């Protein structure tokens, strides 16, 4: 569990330090006080990813080019000094040469936010990100395949836009893309096979009804990936980007055999979204032997009382959970499940119970 967090020039925090309770905490505060940024800092420290931005640049405080995050965990002190040209990544004082080596022994994380409904309602991109965020924590081969695929895709798309359009060069990256893409699809299918029972179990716990939630991996095209890419080369050149591959795939989510996006009620969709995240948690615990740190950003106001209680009860008892909220009215006079802190002007103070 994360016992201490220090920030330098991260988002709205110039300098910040927090001794975190072992079981976690509820962080209270008005909007724009930096509650979500604290969870974001933990997520970036452990996964080198932010759920709010695709690039690290915006994480630096206004007017700054770099930022620092330091966290203490059992047996680990992780430190990031992020600069645009040369990020410095260290574990226990020893430099890690790249992002993959930094992530190799990091702790698992589950992020839950009030935009998780997009996992059911929005386009395929949200569901691919969900699978990839889980997959890179589940299996080192997944990280390798995903990062290699993304590099090859970026280069191939650049070549497709280039005026010379050297077809031999394009073909070399097409072969790489097909190799890593085929591996990535296979890993995603294996991951979903492991994940689905956890989704079903979580839905029953939260929903309390005998409804059948389902999920199926849908490739954007059938057949050999290299052959499909070669056949679509003229179209790719016309569009200036690769039209086939795992970056176009989707995770089809159903309820009682029908599309959850089209036919499930809002309450059912919210239950599915929560179930997807709780399934991440239970699968990572099973596969890694570590209960993930749960980062829960302002979700309780969107849930009815029954789902709220079921969700709190479904969180692993041994998990460290960091929960942000603007108020505690959703508790309806029941005791706060975790130590509470008030956040104001980038300062945390304990709330007396």
All domains of the chain in start order, with CATH: 1-107+299-353 (3.40.50.300)
Buried b (16+ CB within 10 A) or exposed e, 253-278: bbbeeeebbeebeeebbbbbbbbbbb
3 state SS of 335: coil
SS3 313: helix
Q: What integer best gives the mean pLDDT of the chain?
A: 94
Per-residue pLDDT, 118:
95
Residues flagged as binding site for ATP = 29-36
What residues form the annotated binding site? Answer: 29-36
pLDDT at 341: 96
pLDDT band at 105 (very low <50, low <70, confident <90, very high): very high
pLDDT digits (tens, 9 = 90+) for 149-192: 999 999 999 999 987 778 999 999 999 999 999 999 999 999 99
Q: Which residue has the tokens 């080369």?
A: 233
Sequence-separated (6 or more) residues with CB below 8 Å from residue 337: 26, 312
Closest CA to 108 of 308, 284, 303, 319: 284
For strands 4-10 and 67-73, give the pairing: antiparallel
What are 224-246's pLDDT values in tens digits?
Answer: 999 999 999 999 999 999 999 99
Q: In what order do the strands lie in the sheet with 250-255?
A: 213-218, 250-255, 258-259
């Amino acid at each position: 569990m994360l016992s201490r967090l220090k920030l330098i020039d991260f988002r709205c925090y110039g300098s910040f330090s927090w001794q975190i309770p072992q079981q976690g905490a509820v962080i209270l505060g008005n909007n724009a006080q930096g509650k979500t940024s604290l969870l974001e800092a933990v997520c970036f420290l452990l996964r080198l990813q932010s759920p709010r931005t695709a690039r690290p640049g915006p994480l630096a405080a206004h007017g700054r080019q770099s930022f620092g995050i330091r966290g203490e965990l059992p047996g680990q002190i992780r430190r990031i000094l992020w600069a645009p040209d040369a990020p410095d990544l260290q574990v226990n004082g020893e430099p890690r040469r790249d992002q993959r080596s930094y992530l190799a022994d990091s702790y698992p994380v589950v992020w839950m936010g009030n935009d998780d409904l997009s996992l059911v309602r929005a386009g395929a991109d949200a569901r691919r990100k969900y699978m990839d965020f889980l997959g890179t924590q589940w299996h080192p081969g997944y990280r390798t395949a995903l990062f290699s695929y993304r590099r090859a895709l970026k280069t191939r798309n650049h070549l497709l836009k280039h005026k010379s359009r050297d077809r031999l060069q394009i073909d070399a990256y097409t072969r790489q893309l097909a190799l890593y893409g085929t591996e990535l699809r296979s890993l995603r299918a294996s991951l979903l096979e492991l994940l689905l029972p956890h989704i079903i179990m979580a839905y029953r716990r939260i929903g309390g009804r005998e409804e059948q939630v389902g999920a199926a991996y849908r490739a954007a095209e059938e057949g050999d990936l290299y052959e499909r890419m070669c056949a679509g080369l003229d179209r790719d050149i016309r569009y200036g980007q690769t039209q086939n591959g795992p970056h176009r795939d989707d995770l089809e989510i159903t309820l009682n055999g029908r599309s959850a996006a089209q036919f499930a009620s809002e309450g059912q969709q919210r239950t599915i979204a929560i179930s997807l995240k709780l399934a991440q948690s239970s699968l990572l615990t099973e596969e890694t032997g570590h209960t993930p740190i749960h980062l829960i950003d302002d979700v309780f106001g969107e849930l009815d009382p029954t789902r709220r209680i079921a969700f709190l009860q479904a969180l692993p008892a041994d998990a460290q959970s960091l929960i942000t909220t603007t108020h505690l009215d959703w508790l309806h006079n029941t005791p706060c499940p975790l130590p509470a802190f008030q956040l104001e002007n980038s300062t945390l103070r304990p709330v007396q119970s």
